[in-house]
């Protein structure tokens, strides 16, 4: 039996037609190893043209199937639907509609399936329960054997919809039963840009009708609550101790959580209580200290708030962006600069600040991959990421808020030039939650 016959793929989507089209281009490309696999698109009653886009692709590819929900049941409920109502092959892989793929390690997935692994991580990480559990919060990071989807796991998934991560019930089952896990040596899928992180869990819902505790929840609250899915208390503590989420230490993560809750959730104390209750004694002491430090600090956390809301005009004024650009211009004198990123941040930066002292040879963005996107962007030559080898440049300057993942992808693709941020980043105020 071929891998194609063993692996069923589901792609959940809601009102992200543009992102979804790019996802189709990647997973159906000539070099994609899954282009001929059975792929079911679970459309959560989109209203932005997603229907037409999916139907267009279904007409071209017979292996695609379009299932449209009668209602927008929420992204987390759509995840549960994929795992519980449609899993009919030996393995299941759930994809999202806005991520980035690299197929170099796909042969490892095929070997792992042939060798009967219960869980295959499509993102590389350390082989520890903490790292595996953390990676699994990103749904496409795991390919699961469907036999682990028991009645109890399904019940836990439904129950954990409220905690934002129903799919963590699956990896909890794997960890609890100590079943075999395979971890790829190179990321196959990376998280794409999410344009609506603050409201992504309740998009287009009638917020006033959603309970306050649900409406005010965020990543950390749901994740820490989900740790309860792990049966062994020692393992729960180990998983929390090993959690960093882009931070140097658990203590730094606690500080970020307190600041996030303070500035973006109106200090909703219930969120902190929910996290606090699952902690060990030592972890609680760290959390209390982090809370005290934030509450007694005189730092201007306004940076966090305006950058998170992407109010870039105000942020640039606050950090004196022009001064930073002028300093960059002196440092990069006689260097050929390629900008990377053509989104909202880029628009505000290029339209309001003087970059003329920089020797800019073009601007790169994945949306320039289509031939129809050839030409210029705000006066700069458009460059497609797959054409970078044809461009003469010395430095990549990211006009993006988050660029670490793209930086990794570029380096893995052989781009070894120096890469810098085009916006002033004060690490004291970088929002990581």
**Looking at 117-220, which runs of residues are DSSP E strands?**
119-121, 142-145, 181-183, 189-190
Classify residue 306: in a domain, yes or no: no
Q: For residue 433, what pLDDT is reported?
A: 31
Classify residue 307: in a domain, yes or no: no
Secondary structure letter of residue 367 according to DSSP: G
Classify residue 249: in a domain, yes or no: yes
Instruction: Render pLDDT for 261-310 as a digit per residue (tens, 0 to 9).
Output: 987 788 999 999 999 999 999 999 999 999 999 888 866 666 666 655 56
Q: For residue 359, what pLDDT is reported?
A: 93
Distance CA 407, CA 396 (A): 9
Q: Where a domain ends, among 238, 266, 297?
A: 297
Closest of 243, 194, 201 to residue 219, by C-alpha: 201
Q: What SS3 class is residue 197?
A: helix
Confidence grade of residue 108 (pLDDT, cut at 50, 70, 90): very high
Classify residue 242: in a domain, yes or no: yes
Instruction: Render pLDDT for 361-390 as a digit per residue (tens, 0 to 9).
Output: 999 988 887 665 678 888 899 998 888 888
Pairing status of strand 64-68 against strand 189-190: unpaired
Classify residue 292: in a domain, yes or no: yes
319 and 286 share a domain? no
Contact 173, 166 (CB under 8 A): no
50 and 177 share a domain? yes
Q: For residue 366, what pLDDT is reported?
A: 82
Q: Strand pairing partners for 42?
A: 12, 67
Between the alpha carbon of residue 407 and those of residues 190, 320, 403, 414, the distances in Å are 12, 25, 6, 11
Is residue 72 predicted with pLDDT exceeding 50?
yes
> Which residues touch 151 (CB under 8 Å, ≥6 apart)?
none
User: DSSP for 3-34?
Assistant: HHHHEEEEEEESS-HHHHHHHHHHHTSTT-TT
367 and 422 share a domain? yes
Q: Which two tokens stand for residue 187?
A: 């990321």
Q: For residue 390, what pLDDT is reported?
A: 86
Contact 47, 81 (CB under 8 A): no
Distance CA 281, CA 285 (A): 6
Classify residue 374: in a domain, yes or no: yes
Is residue 428 predicted with pLDDT exceeding 50?
no
Classify residue 204: in a domain, yes or no: no
Alpha carbons within 13 A on the beta-carbon side of 74: 20
Contact 121, 141 (CB under 8 A): yes
**Mean pLDDT, the chain, whole residue set:** 88
Overall average pLDDT of the 155-164 stretch: 95
Domain span holding position 246: 209-297
Instruction: Render pLDDT for 81-94 as a digit per residue (tens, 0 to 9).
Output: 999 988 889 999 99
Between the alpha carbon of residue 5 and those of residues 9, 37, 228, the distances in Å are 11, 8, 35
Alpha carbons within 13 A on the beta-carbon side of 320: 5
Overall average pLDDT of the 407-414 stretch: 84
Contact 274, 221 (CB under 8 A): yes
283 or 195: which carries more pLDDT confidence?
283
Q: Strand pairing partners for 397?
A: 339, 420
Looking up residue 355, the CATH number of its domain turns out to be: 3.40.50.720
Confidence grade of residue 209 (pLDDT, cut at 50, 70, 90): confident
Q: For residue 429, what pLDDT is reported?
A: 39
Residue 332 CA to its chain's centroid (Å): 32
Q: Where a domain ends, among 198, 225, 254?
A: 198
CA geometry: angle 310, 311, 315, nearest 5 deg? 105
Residue identified by tokens 């993942």 is 405
99 and 248 share a domain? no
Q: For residue 265, what pLDDT is reported?
A: 87
258 and 338 share a domain? no
Q: For residue 371, what pLDDT is reported?
A: 62
Is residue 405 predicted with pLDDT exceeding 90?
no
Classify residue 281: in a domain, yes or no: yes
Q: For residue 373, what pLDDT is reported?
A: 62
Residue % of the chain over a pLDDT of 90: 60
35 and 66 share a domain? yes
191 or 284: which carries more pLDDT confidence?
284
Is residue 239 predicted with pLDDT exceeding 50?
yes
Closest of 158, 194, 172 to residue 79, by C-alpha: 158
Secondary structure letter of residue 246 according to DSSP: S
Distance CA 42, CA 81 (A): 9
76 and 171 share a domain? yes
Q: For residue 201, what pLDDT is reported?
A: 65
Contact 98, 13 (CB under 8 A): no
Q: For residue 377, what pLDDT is reported?
A: 87
Q: Report the domain count for the chain.
A: 3
Q: Which two tokens stand for residue 244?
A: 């960093």
Q: For residue 245, what pLDDT is reported?
A: 75
Is residue 35 predicted with pLDDT exceeding 90?
yes
Contact 361, 338 (CB under 8 A): yes
Contact 369, 385 (CB under 8 A): yes
Is residue 32 predicted with pLDDT exceeding 70?
yes
Is residue 157 predicted with pLDDT exceeding 90?
yes
**Positive or negative CA dihedral for 137, 118, 95, 126?**
positive
């Amino acid at each position: 039996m071929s891998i194609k016959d063993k692996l069923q793929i589901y792609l959940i989507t809601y009102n992200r037609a543009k992102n979804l089209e790019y996802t189709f281009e990647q997973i159906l490309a000539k070099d994609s190893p899954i282009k001929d696999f059975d792929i079911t698109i679970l459309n959560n009653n989109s209203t932005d043209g997603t229907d037409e886009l999916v139907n267009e692709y279904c007409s071209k590819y017979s292996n695609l199937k379009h299932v449209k929900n009668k209602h927008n049941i929420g992204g987390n409920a759509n995840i549960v639907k994929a795992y519980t109502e449609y899993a009919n092959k030996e393995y299941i892989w759930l994809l999202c509609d806005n991520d980035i793929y690299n197929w170099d390690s796909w042969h490892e997935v095929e070997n792992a399936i042939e060798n009967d692994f219960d869980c295959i991580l499509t993102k590389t990480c350390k082989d520890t329960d903490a790292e595996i559990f953390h990676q699994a919060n990103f749904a496409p990071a795991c390919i699961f054997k469907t036999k682990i989807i028991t009645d109890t796991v399904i019940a836990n998934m439904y129950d954990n919809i409220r905690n934002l991560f129903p799919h963590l019930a699956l990896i909890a089952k794997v960890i609890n039963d100590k079943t075999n896990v395979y971890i790829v040596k190179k990321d196959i899928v990376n998280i794409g840009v999410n344009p609506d992180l603050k409201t992504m869990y309740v998009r287009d819902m009638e917020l006033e009708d959603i309970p306050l505790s649900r409406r005010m929840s965020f990543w950390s609250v749901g994740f820490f609550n989900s740790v309860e899915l792990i049966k062994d208390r020692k393992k729960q503590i180990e998983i929390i101790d090993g959690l960093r989420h882009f931070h140097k230490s658990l203590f730094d993560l606690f500080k970020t959580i307190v600041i996030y809750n303070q500035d973006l959730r109106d200090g909703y104390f219930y969120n902190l209580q929910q996290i606090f209750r699952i902690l060990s004694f030592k972890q609680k002491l760290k959390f209390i200290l982090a809370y005290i430090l934030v509450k007694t600090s005189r730092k201007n956390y306004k940076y966090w708030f305006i950058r998170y809301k992407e109010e870039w005009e105000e942020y640039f004024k606050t950090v004196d962006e022009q001064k930073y650009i002028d300093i960059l211009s002196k440092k990069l004198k006689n260097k050929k600069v390629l900008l990377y990123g053509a989104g909202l941040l880029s628009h505000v930066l290029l339209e309001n600040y003087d970059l003329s002292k920089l020797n800019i040879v073009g601007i790169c963005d994945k949306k320039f991959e289509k031939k129809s996107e050839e030409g210029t962007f705000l006066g700069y030559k458009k460059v497609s990421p797959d054409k970078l080898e044809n461009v003469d440049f010395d430095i990549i300057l990211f006009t993006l808020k988050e660029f670490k993942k793209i930086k990794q992808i570029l380096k893995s693709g052989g781009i070894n030039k120096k890469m810098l941020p085009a916006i002033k980043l004060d690490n004291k105020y970088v929002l990581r939650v």
